[in-house]
Structure 1
Amino acid sequence: MNNGLLKNPVNGRWRSVPFTHPSTLDTIAMDVDLKNKMKSNGLVVLTIQARSSSLKPPKCEQVHGAQAAMLFIGLYLVALGVGGIKGSLPPHGAEQFDETTPQGRKQRSTFFNYFVFCLSFGGLIAVTFVLWVEDNKGWQWGFGIAALAIFLSIPIFLAGSPFYRNKIPRGSPLTTISKVLIAALLNSRASRNSSTAIASIGSSPTAIQTVKEGGQNPNSKNVESIETPSRSLSFLNRAVSDTPAYSALECTVQQVEEVKIVLKLFPVFACTIMLNCCLSPLNTFSVHQAATMNTKLGSLNVPLASLPIFLVVFIMILAPVHDHFIIKFAHRVTKTEMDISLLQRIGIGLFLSIVAMAVAALIEIKRKGVATDLGLINSAKPLPITYHPIFSF
C-alpha cells in the first residue's frame, strides 16, 4: 500500500505531492487552508459589525433583521472554520511522519505533545493579551487581532506545501462503510439457504499488505500479505463473497478490515463523551460561579474570562514534561517502543478527569458550605476566588 502518496520511480522513495498536483485538490492540507479562510472571513464579519455602530447589536436587547443575520453569519463561519481546522490539522501533521519506522512513530508522538503545547500557548495569548485589548480598546480590536493572526497563518501554512506528504483522496470513507455493512447484511441473508457466502476468500484478488511493528521497508520480509479477513467482527466477513447479492456491493478484504478498524474505535469515542462533560464547566459554570466571587489574588484582579489561564498554563507545563521525562521513564519501566500504549494513555486521562471532577465537587460543596455558614447564600458579598472549582482542574 502506498497510503495515497506518490512514489518516485527512480529511487522508489515516497515524495510529497505539491498543492498544484491535480490529485491534491481535496487533500487534508487543502481542507485546512479552506477552513482557515472560512474562519478568517467570519472574524472579519464580526470585526466589521463590532466596529460599526449601525451594525452593532444593541446591549441587553434582542437582535433582529440584518444585524442578526450578520452576527450569525460571522459566528457560523467561525464555528465551521474552527471545527474544520480541529478535525483536519492533527491528522495532516501525523501524515508527515513515517509510521513504519520507530523514529517516525516517536516523532509523531512528539508532534502531538507540542501540538497541544502550541494550542495552549495560543489560548494563553487569547485569555490574557486579546482579552485585555477587548476590555480596554473594544471588541472590534479583539476580533481584528484574531482575524489578522489567521490571515498570517495562511501563507505560512501554504509555504510548507512543497514539503508536505499529502494523501491522494480515494473516495469517501462513509461510502465504504455503508457498502461493507449492506453487503454483509444482504450476503448473510442470501447464504442462509446456500453456501455462496465467502465461498473462496483465499482467492480474493485483493490482498492487504501490512507492515509489522518495527518494519522499515514495505518490500522487506516484514511485510505480510493478508488474503483472508480477521476473525474479529466476523459478521462483516460475509461482505467478501465471490457471488455478491449485487455486483455494485462487491467488497475487498481491505475494505472489510478498514471498516472493522472504524467500528472498534466506537467504544473509545463513547468513553470520551463524558470527557467533554468535564471540559464544558470550564467555559460555562466556572465563569458563572466566578461572577459571584472576589477575583482578586493579592493585588492582582483576575478577569472572569481569564480564569481558564490556570488550566492552559498547566497543560503548557505538562506537555514538554510528558515528552521529555514521563515517556522516557515509562520506556525504562516497560522496555517497549511504545512505552505507554495509546489506549493506556486514554484510560489514564479519563481516570484523571474523574479525579478532577470529584475534587471539583468537593470544592463546590465546601464553597457552598462557607457561603451558608457566613449567611452569603442570597448576599452580593463575594467569596474568595480560591474556593473556585476551576482550581481543582
Structure 2
Amino acid sequence: MEAKPNEVEEVETCSEDAEDHPQRGGWKTFPFVSGNVLGLSVAAGGWASNLIVFLMTKFNVKSISATQINNIILGTNNLFPVAGAFIADSFLGSFSVVSIFSFISLLGMIMLTLIATTHSLRPSSCPPGSLTCEGPSKFQYSVLYAALTLASLGLGGTRFTIATMGADQFRKPHDQGVFFNWYFIALYVANVISFTAIIYVQDNVGWGLGFGICFIANVIGLLVFLLGKRFYRQVKPKGSPFMSIARVLVASVWKMKISLAASRDSDYFYGDVALADNTVPTKAFRFLNRAAIKTEEDKQFDGSYEKTWKLCTVKEVEDLKTLIKIMPLWSTGIFLSTPIGISSSLTILQALTMDRHLGPHFTIPAGSFLVFNLLATTISIFIIDRFILHKLRPLQGIGIGHVINIVALVGSALIERRRLEVVTAHNLTNQPGTVVPMSALWLVAPLSVVGIGEAFHFPGQVALYYEEFPKPLKSTSTAMISLLIGIGYYLSTAITDLVDRTTGWLPNDINQGRLDNVFWMLAVIGVVNFVYYLICAKFFKYQNQSV
C-alpha cells in the first residue's frame, strides 16, 4: 500500500527528532524491549494478581478491607502511566523513564520479598476462620504500603512508556503496528505466567519464593533492557501537549472581556500557516475562541505574533474543543470499569470459600480464576478481529461491550444466590473458613462473559480515542484508557466502602453477607450507565470519517 504524504512526513519528522544513526532502531531492538515487558509484567502480575489473598492470609486484613486496598493499588497502577508519559514527553525521554521506574519496581520487589520472609515485618499467623487474629502494627502497615507504592509506581511508569519507546524504534507505520501486536502478545503471555505458575507457588510453596521469582523476573527485565541501550533510537522530549491545553484555558480566561460579536476570521491567530490552509474557529464552545484573538498587547516588537500564555493558535483551541466533545463518552468508561473492578475482587473472595479442587490432587489458587477472564478476552479479540471487527464502528463495539458486561453481572448475582443457598442448606452460616460444597468452576462463566465484553469495549475505546483525539495527543489517547480504569478502581473502593458502611451485605465472612445484592446493584449501575452511553453516543459526531 502506498504511503500517504502526511504519513511519510510524520515518519521523517520522527527520524529527525531521534538521536540515532542508520544502525540504530529496527527489529534488533525488539528482544531487549520485549524482554523488559516480559520481565516486569511477570513481576507485576505476580504480586498484583494475588494481593487480596496475601493481605488476608499473611497480614490478617479483613476481606472487605483487602479488596479496598487492592482496588486502590490497581487504581494507582492505571493512573500513573499518564504521569509517566508526561515525564517522558516533557523532560526525560522514554529510555530514562523506563530505566528509572524499572529500578523503582525492583525496590518494591525486594521489600515484598523481605516482608514475606521476615516475621517481624508482618503480624503473627492466624488459623483459618479465627475471629481473634492479631492485626498489623503501624510499622508493619507502613512497610507494606511503602513496598506496594514502589511496586505500583514501577509498574505504572513503565508499561505504557515502554510501548511508546518500542514503537519509536521503527520508521514505518506498518512495522509499528506489528510491534504493538507482539507487545500485547508478550503482555498476555506474562500475565498467564503470573496468574498460574507464580500464584500457585505463592499459595502452595511459599510467599517468599513467589515474590523472589518476581524479583528475579524484574532483575532480568531491567538488565535486558539496559543491554540494548546502544541499539535504541532515542527520541528527544518535545514538551507535553497538555501545556497547549492549559494555555488555551488561561488565555480564554485572560481575554474573557473581549467581545466575539464582530470578530472575523482574520482577527484570529493561525500560527505560521496561511489562513486558507488552516482550521477556522467553530461556533461550539465559542467562549474558548477568545484565546486565539489577536490584540495589540499580543503584538511583538517587530509586529509579529507568537504563541504565549495570552495567545494561542486556532488549531490549539479547536483541539481542546475536540477533547471536550469526547469527554462525555470517555466518562462512560469510568462507570463501566467500576463494576468490573468490584466484581473481580469479590470473585476472589467467593473462590476462597468454594471447592477449588480440579481432580483429587490439584487445587486452583483463588487468584488464578481471573486468568479465565484474560483467556476469554484474548480468544474473543482474535475472533472479533477476524470475523466481526470490519462490520462494526467503535461506538457499536463499545455499546455491545456494555450490554455483555450487564449480562455478566446478572450471572454473578444468580451464582452467588445459589452459593448462599448451599451455605444455608449445609448450615455453614456461622462457620467461617469452612469450604462450601459447591464447585468454584461456576465462577468461570461470569468471568468469561466479562472477558468477552472487554474484547468488544476495550479495543473499541482504543480505536475511538486514537482516531478522534487531536494529532498532538495521539500518544496520550491510549493512556486515557488506563486513566479511566484507574479512576474506576478508585471509585470502586469508594462504592465498596459506602456499601459496607450502610448495609450488611459485606461482612468479613461473606457467608453471612449478601454479595448477590451487591452484584444486582452493580447491574443496575451498568444499566443506568448504558443509557447514559446511548445518549452520549447519539449526540457524538465522528471528526475522522475514516473511523
> What TM-score comes out, normalization by structure 1 length?
0.74
Structure 2 residue aligned with 1:290: 351
Q: How does 1:351-390 map to 2 (within 5 A)?
A: 351-372=403-424, 377-378=429-430, 380=434, 382-386=436-440, 388-390=442-444
Distance between the aligned counterparts of 2:228 and 2:311, measured in 1?
40
* Cα 1:208/1:89, change in 2 over 3 Å: farther
Structure 2 residue aligned with 1:119: 187
Distance between the aligned counterparts of 2:409 and 2:143, measured in 1?
38
* Cα 1:267/1:352, change in 2 over 3 Å: same
Q: What is the percent sequence identity of the aligned residues?
A: 29
Task: Tell me if the contact between 1:204 and 1:252 (Cα under 8 Å) persists in the aligned partners.
Answer: yes
Amino acid at match of 1:140: G
How far 1:78 sits from its partner (Å)?
0.7
Range with bigger deviation, 40-49 or 183-192: 183-192
Residues 343-373 of structure 1, C-alpha deviations (whole Å, 9 max, x = no match)? 4443333332222222222322333345456
How far 1:162 sits from its partner (Å)?
5.9
Distance between the aligned counterparts of 2:233 and 2:323, measured in 1?
23
Range with bigger deviation, 368-377 or 78-87: 368-377
The answer to whether structure 1 residue 258 and structure 2 residue 352 are counterparts is no
Range with bigger deviation, 112-121 or 235-244: 112-121
Residues 225-251 of structure 1, C-alpha deviations (whole Å, 9 max, x = no match)? 424345544432221111187763211
Distance between the aligned counterparts of 2:124 and 2:247, measured in 1?
52
Amino acid at match of 2:217: A
Range with bigger deviation, 83-92 or 182-191: 83-92
Q: How does 1:25-104 map to 2 (within 5 A)?
A: 26-59=92-125, 60-64=133-137, 66-93=139-166, 103=174
> What TM-score comes out, normalization by structure 2 length?
0.55
Q: Alignment partner for residue 267 of structure 2, among 192, 197, 200?
A: 200
Q: How does 1:99-178 map to 2 (within 5 A)?
A: 103=174, 108=177, 112=180, 114-159=182-227, 167-178=235-246
The answer to whether structure 1 residue 391 and structure 2 residue 445 are counterparts is yes
The answer to whether structure 1 residue 313 and structure 2 residue 403 are counterparts is no
* Cα 1:351/1:226, change in 2 over 3 Å: farther
Task: Tell me if the contact between 2:258 and 2:290 (Cα under 8 Å) persists in the aligned partners.
Answer: no
Structure 1: 5+ residue runs without aligned partners?
Answer: 210-223, 335-339
Amino acid at match of 1:277: T
Q: Which structure: greater helix fraction?
A: 2
Task: Tell me if the contact between 1:198 and 1:242 (Cα under 8 Å) persists in the aligned partners.
Answer: no
Structure 2 residue aligned with 1:217: none
Task: Tell me if the contact between 2:265 and 2:280 (Cα under 8 Å) persists in the aligned partners.
Answer: no
Distance between the aligned counterparts of 1:67 and 1:381, measured in 2?
30
Where 2:92 maps in the other structure, the secondary structure is: coil
Amino acid at match of 1:83: G
CA RMSD of aligned residues (A): 3.9
Task: Tell me if the contact between 2:25 and 2:169 (Cα under 8 Å) persists in the aligned partners.
Answer: no
* Cα 1:195/1:16, change in 2 over 3 Å: farther
Q: Alignment partner for residue 336 of structure 2, among 275, 289, 304?
A: 275
How far 1:65 sits from its partner (Å)?
5.8
Task: Tell me if the contact between 2:122 and 2:136 (Cα under 8 Å) persists in the aligned partners.
Answer: no
Residues 1-32 of structure 1, C-alpha deviations (whole Å, 9 max, x = no match)? 758734299xxx9x9699xxx99962234323
Distance between the aligned counterparts of 1:7 and 1:316, measured in 2?
37
Distance between the aligned counterparts of 1:311 and 1:169, measured in 2?
37
Residues 150-186 of structure 1, C-alpha deviations (whole Å, 9 max, x = no match)? 2211233345556656554333344322221122233
Amino acid at match of 1:250: L
Where 2:96 maps in the other structure, the secondary structure is: helix
Distance between the aligned counterparts of 2:377 and 2:171, measured in 1?
27
Q: Alignment partner for residue 365 of structure 2, among 286, 303, 308?
A: 303
Distance between the aligned counterparts of 1:372 and 1:52, measured in 2?
40
Range with bigger deviation, 38-47 or 122-131: 122-131
* Cα 1:268/1:23, change in 2 over 3 Å: closer
Higher relative contact order (CA 8 A, sep 6+): 2
Distance between the aligned counterparts of 1:347 and 1:93, measured in 2?
31
Task: Tell me if the contact between 1:183 and 1:245 (Cα under 8 Å) persists in the aligned partners.
Answer: no
Where 1:291 maps in the other structure, the secondary structure is: helix
Distance between the aligned counterparts of 1:54 and 1:377, measured in 2?
34
Task: Tell me if the contact between 2:423 and 2:436 (Cα under 8 Å) persists in the aligned partners.
Answer: no
Where 1:383 maps in the other structure, the secondary structure is: strand
The answer to whether structure 1 residue 5 and structure 2 residue 14 are counterparts is yes
Amino acid at match of 2:315: Q
Distance between the aligned counterparts of 2:241 and 2:228, measured in 1?
27
Task: Tell me if the contact between 1:198 and 1:237 (Cα under 8 Å) persists in the aligned partners.
Answer: no
Residues 25-69 of structure 1, C-alpha deviations (whole Å, 9 max, x = no match)? 622343233222211111112213333344444444333365443
Amino acid at match of 1:69: S
Distance between the aligned counterparts of 1:355 and 1:112, measured in 2?
31
* Cα 1:41/1:169, change in 2 over 3 Å: same
Task: Tell me if the contact between 2:248 and 2:291 (Cα under 8 Å) persists in the aligned partners.
Answer: yes
Amino acid at match of 1:235: F
Structure 2: 5+ residue runs without aligned partners?
Answer: 1-8, 30-87, 126-132, 299-307, 448-547
Task: Tell me if the contact between 2:355 and 2:436 (Cα under 8 Å) persists in the aligned partners.
Answer: yes
The answer to whether structure 1 residue 183 and structure 2 residue 251 are counterparts is yes
Task: Tell me if the contact between 2:354 and 2:440 (Cα under 8 Å) persists in the aligned partners.
Answer: no
